[in-house]
């Protein structure tokens, strides 16, 4: 069995500068749920690693956060997909925690919980901090242009060698051997 790590907001679901604060606001990016189901069928364990500072900011509570994930999982089931774990940082940017991306703490939590190494594991994100966290943990970062991906790419700070794809579905095409999609950089 293989492992892949996905950021949530901007990779699986639409993102907002005002945060995703409720199940109603949690809207999947077209093709993302199908892509996760394809990963599952290709023998991938799919886990989510996500910063959720909206909790620390009081914008939503843990129950609401769990309700968003229940919606995500229920929608995924319709495609035959599943998420094998959700790892999240509930802290704000000034809390000096070890789990908030760009630090590698969430990735370390994943390696403690799952009986598989993280070295060279694909990690898909839409922000520079996603890419930095994956690199620090020894995973293989991929940038998608959904969510904040365009802004991340245009900022010009993306490390050399990080492949860039239109969306999660395009990453999955390459990972499972469908060669019609290739990185755009």
CB atoms within 10 A of CB 39: 23
Would residue 183 count as lying in a domain?
Answer: no
Would residue 137 count as lying in a domain?
Answer: yes
Would residue 181 count as lying in a domain?
Answer: no
Look up the CATH number of the domain holding residue 17. 3.40.50.1000
Would residue 182 count as lying in a domain?
Answer: no
pTM of the complete model: 0.95
pLDDT of residue 179: 59
Would residue 141 count as lying in a domain?
Answer: yes
What residue numbers bound the domain in which 6 lies?
2-175
d(C-alpha 137, C-alpha 183), whole Å: 22
Number of domains in the chain: 1
Helix axes 128-137, 105-113, angle to 10 degrees: 50
Would residue 147 count as lying in a domain?
Answer: yes
pLDDT of residue 185: 62
The stretches in the chain having pLDDT less than 70 are: 178-185
Looking at the annotation, which residues are catalytic?
A: 7, 9
pLDDT of residue 117: 87
**Do residues 68 and 16 touch, judged by C-beta distance below 8 A?**
no
pLDDT of residue 181: 58
Would residue 57 count as lying in a domain?
Answer: yes
């Amino acid at each position: 069995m293989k492992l892949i790590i996905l950021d949530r907001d901007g990779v699986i679901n639409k993102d907002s500068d005002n945060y995703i604060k409720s199940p109603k606001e949690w809207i999947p990016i077209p093709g993302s749920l199908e892509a996760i189901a394809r990963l599952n069928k290709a023998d991938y364990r799919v886990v989510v690693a996500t910063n959720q500072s909206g909790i620390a900011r009081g914008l939503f509570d843990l129950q609401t956060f769990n309700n968003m994930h229940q919606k995500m999982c229920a929608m995924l089931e319709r495609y035959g997909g599943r998420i094998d774990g959700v790892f999240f940082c509930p802290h704000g940017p000034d809390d000096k925690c070890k789990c908030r991306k760009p630090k590698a703490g969430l990735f370390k939590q994943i390696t403690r919980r799952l009986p598989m190494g993280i070295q060279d594991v694909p990690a898909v994100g839409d922000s520079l901090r996603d890419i930095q966290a994956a690199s620090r943990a020894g995973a293989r970062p991929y940038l998608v242009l959904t969510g904040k991906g365009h802004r991340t790419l245009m900022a010009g700070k993306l490390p050399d060698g990080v492949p860039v794809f239109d969306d999660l579905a395009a990453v999955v095409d390459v990972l499972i051997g469908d060669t019609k999609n290739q990185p755009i950089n």
